[in-house]
Structure 1
């Protein structure tokens, strides 16, 4: 008799749990999505994707997460018809019950996995994520249906991604011209130029890669007193007289996915998150700080990642038009052969600054979503041994990200200034074009 009572209690508890009347509310915890973004960042770091490619991965995963979540939130609009070439996405079946946050996380991770390589990294994460969702008590039929819907959304997004010209731009190399003032590979690894055909990638909202074309940079002229000479000397003197705080700023915003370290005959790489990953980390942190709900967090990831993606396209359009030489190259050749930048010079042309462009794009979008004067502690660099930095606004953070490139010795001032202007224009255009609610 006692055994039957125990069995009855166990079955009763299981039935109550599977019928949890609050499961929708509990499943709509934005931490599920924030954790997924962190997991995707770890995968991107492991696979060493270049910053523009990383932005593509983040964007499609974030769009998938948003599109699956939007159905459970009245007043929010799909991005279908608002992004270039995005004409349709999988829809839930009418009259059926879904847990859309579960579907959203599933869609986000499914796209992220398809666009990255290190699938084994997700094994323990997936087990823990599934266990946490199961604890909520989502009815089995709703759970299975939501997972299937998330997979369908992911499939739709992958079809959308397949037509952005990414595959068509693989395998092409940049030909170094050796003309005065033009980019050449830099120490220590002298890596080929990264993504020279990124301007061929379909933008998300821009009309074209050259829509917000930067001004022509100053003429390469090392005559003392010329505008270009002054730019060179500014970078040179800044690094020579760097303060400890300026050095900290340079290192905090380094965001170099693949730093090559050479000691004697030994060579090894240090891997970090990309600039886009840094800003999506900020989006997640501030969403948590402001107690944003699930759809607001999904919206922040989607719009920020789109701004970063189009920011890279706009920036790369200018990089491979002007093909600007890096400070390290010109200073070592003409000013001081012993001078070294604080940061390792990235393997692509100098003008405009990618970090300046996408940081301002992300900051403008986040400002519209969360407000003008949102103070926050940026702790994204803690895994790399760097303490958090405090900011009074997203714009202030983007300004510091931009100036970090001068402190690091990898850019001239006009690349920072014009890059920020470029990013501002990209984000303003996005804010005008996309209406999520």
Structure 2
């Protein structure tokens, strides 16, 4: 969390101490419109999500409403960008700013983002401290006090609208549906070592979808039937996972480790265990959004659009995936291998506490990656350093699809998914992503990021 505050202090030094005379919009707009403060706010929210140990589906909910609020606020300055009202299920037009008032919409957008964040995370007091530090930057830019107050008030007004929308998504109702009953049916999901934790979000499919017709719209085909016959499709996949684990190359280990993204990892030393907090899958993909936005030198509006569209894909991707997980409720590799091949075997990665089919990381990565490919184009190479801070290294990709396909195979290398669970998850995610794009993608009157970026290079 310290890194964002350091950035703000540094930025203040660059900006200076302002002027005694009232700055005009022309004088402060260029600095205010820099996307850097928004990128830092996104990093800060991710830090809080990690600190507060939100489960990946819940993290996707936090990201979607914060970014939606920021987008709907900022687009008031950019009318070519269409509202999500009428595009997202049940979402209505946000309040409009006063026509005769002077606003700093970048500030209003950040204020809206932070206001929603504070209501959805645990670390509210820490976010409030960060909030005041952010607002001071706009003062240092020369944004007049009355403009700051009016902009913050408008951002908070939009935030209340979005929070009211969030309050109708069934999240509160699902808190009373957390109990999951394990069965003894052959091939059914069982608690997994080392924690044997309760099943994660067993009723996430009851959440309101944003663009999908229903959580079952892109239901995957049935998984391979459970069988201990060595010649069966299922048991061949069991052997594949086991064989990978005992013959893993350093590259396969690097791939598995890089895409681990397990929010909490257990470390066991004798009779003592402790937990490490790490990046989550949706946070990883929003960090990729930031990388792409910076690589392409996107302005603030295009950056916020990319964050928002990606968040919508992640959110709907989780609901569709979780619906299948608890319908098929398929056993994890570690359970089968320990019972029928090697009692002492452990997967390279810790198995997360939910059923195997389909892979959540595969599904949501493909959903996000498909939308990002529409925004940025095919064959956009980038280097992802998201996991560097967690000791997982840096990886480079030839395209966005290259990255999300690697995510899928990483789950097999890591020993936590079967082949069909990984790649049927990819297929489901791509379908979700295409659907999301068909619902919220910009019309022909609005330039795509990929198009506008290409024009800059000419």
TM-score tier after normalising by the smaller chain length: over 0.9
Inter-partner Cα distance in structure 2 for 1:74 and 1:89: 14
8 Å CA contact 1:212, 1:425 repeated in 2: yes
Residue 30 of structure 1 corresponds to which residue in structure 2? 35
2-side partners of 1:192 and 1:92: how far apart?
46
Q: Within 5 A, what are the aligned runs for 1:386-405?
A: 386-405=392-411
Instruction: Return 94-103 or 306-315, whichever deviates more.
Output: 94-103
1:157 aligns to 2:165 (yes or no): no
Q: TM-score, normalised by structure 1?
A: 0.95
> Structure 1, residues 163-199: CA drift from partner, whole Å, max 9, x if none?
0000000032110012110001100110000000000
Say whether residues 1:221 and 2:227 are aligned partners. yes
Give the superposed CA RMSD: 1.4
| Equivalent position of 1:371 in the other structure | 377
Change (3 A) 1:321 1:13: closer
How far apart, CA to CA, are the structure 1 residues paired with 2:33 and 2:145? 17
- The equivalent residue for 1:320 is 326
Task: State the structure with more CA Rg.
Answer: 1
| 1:123 positional shift | 4.8
CA shift for structure 1 position 21: 2.9
Distance in 2 between residues matched to 1:204 and 1:325, nearest whole Å: 30
**Residue 260 of structure 2: aligned partner:** 254
SS in 2 for 1:168: helix
**Cα distance, 1:20–1:95 mapped onto 2, change above 3 Å:** closer
Point out where structure 1 has 5 or more consecutive residues left out of the alignment. Answer: 1-11
SS of residue matched to 1:259: strand
Q: TM-score, normalised by structure 2?
A: 0.91
- Go from structure 1 to structure 2 and tell me whether the alpha carbon gap of 1:223 and 1:168 turns closer, same or farther (over 3 Å shift): same
User: For residues 69-111 of structure 1, what are the alpha-carbon distances to aligned partners after superposition, in whole Å with 9 as ceiling and x for unaligned?
Assistant: 0011131111111100102322211121211111101111111
What's the secondary structure of 1:269's corresponding residue? strand
Q: Is the 8 A contact 2:114 2:127 kept in 1?
A: no
The aligned length equals 426
CA distance in 2 between counterparts of 1:198 and 1:61 reads 19
- Give the Cα–Cα distance (whole angstroms) in 1 for the partners of residues 215 and 354 of structure 2: 17
Partner of 2:47: 42
Q: State the SS of the aligned residue for 2:396.
A: strand
Cα separation, 2, equivalents of 1:321 and 1:314? 11
Task: Name the CA distance, whole Å, in 2 between partners of 1:207 and 1:219.
Answer: 28
Whether 1:57 aligns to 2:62 is yes
Map Cα deviations across residues 301-339 of structure 1 (whole Å, 9 max, x no partner). 000000000000010010000000000000000111111
Q: Which residue of 2 aligns with 1:417?
A: 423
Compute the displacement of 1:350 (Å): 0.1
Aligned match of 2:97 = 92
Q: Is the 8 A contact 2:18 2:142 kept in 1?
A: no
The answer to whether the aligner puts 1:341 opposite 2:358 as a matched pair is: no
**More RCO (CA 8 Å, sep 6+):** 1
